[in-house]
Structure 1
Amino acid sequence: MSGSLGERLKAIRQAKGLSQKEMAEIMDVTLRAYQRYEKDEQKASYEKLARIVYELKDINSNWLLTGEGDMFIKNGMPEEFLERLKEDLSKASAESVNSLSFKDRLDAVLSGREKLERVEVIELARVLKQPAEEYLKLANYMPEIFSKVLNNDKVVTMLRSMGDLNDKEIDEVVESLSLVLEGYLSKKKKD
């Protein structure tokens, strides 16, 4: 275990080279409130701690809350996804790879230092002419409930026939359908 919550907040701040004021801004609290968190005089809410994980991207939430594990998330993307991506990139044209909106971060992603956003995974699948649902599953961006539905060939055909959707629209469809399906199943369990 790695010290108190206040000590872990201070360790994150120092590791990221941030001032107490900058950490307070990230957490959306006053400077004084943040200083009390660091001194363990006051406990930060889970909402405020979640802002750190969300804003700084590579903080291990389990470490922040418990002190267990490493401070930073070491592997940006699942190994299985990275292996598939390396294989598909080796077959892709330089023109395709250069068209990626995040091509300047690709080396950091492939080495496990950075993580792609879900919409970037969809862009990769489109540019590399691979099924988006496979890439999303491998990247752990496919909610389990949606993954089960995508195993139904009729549903996949329907999604593909929705028209010429851009990456952001596909991402929104995946997210919306996941929420609808989770709500439906939750309601069905109660009945």
Structure 2
Amino acid sequence: MGHPDREEFMSFAGHPNNVTVVNTASLVDFSLLSVSRDISVWDLREKSSKCIKTLSSSGLTQNGPVNFFSTTRQIDLTPGDHVADIVINPSGDLIYGATGNVVRVWDLRTTQLTQPMLCVQIYRQQKLSGGHQAAIMVLAVDHKEDSDILVTGSKDHYIKQVKTTNILIMLKWFIG
């Protein structure tokens, strides 16, 4: 069964596809993020392991889990339809998600069930603007001075950095 100091104490079921990324927000005690097809936001304060939000690759949000009725283990999606990676900024209030050549940001401060989670598309890579020429596969984020520094890694063999100052100002304007 395993060593007694490695006891499973929670399980998160109901993903519509294989789970490919898991991340936690240490400064926000209620959120665990998992990616199978979309991003599931879980409330860790609930003993029932409840999914409180589902964030889709399109930027839409839904309260609770998305129910897919499929008998197969994996739902086939086109490359731009799934979330490849997620990161949470150091302050624990923003989720960055990579899907295709787009990075979207969701604000964790708007996770009340009665309020939609704000999503802003911050980074659309264009071939002519110096962006990636292929899908973004990995993300990293750090905070310097007044902005997050987002690092993207792509199938085009490049790593790029983006300063997100204007996005953070826009989010503050939207949520007050």
Superposition TM-score, scaled by structure 2 size: 0.28
- Report which of the two has the higher share of strand: 2
Superposition TM-score, scaled by structure 1 size: 0.27
- Report which of the two has the higher share of helix: 1
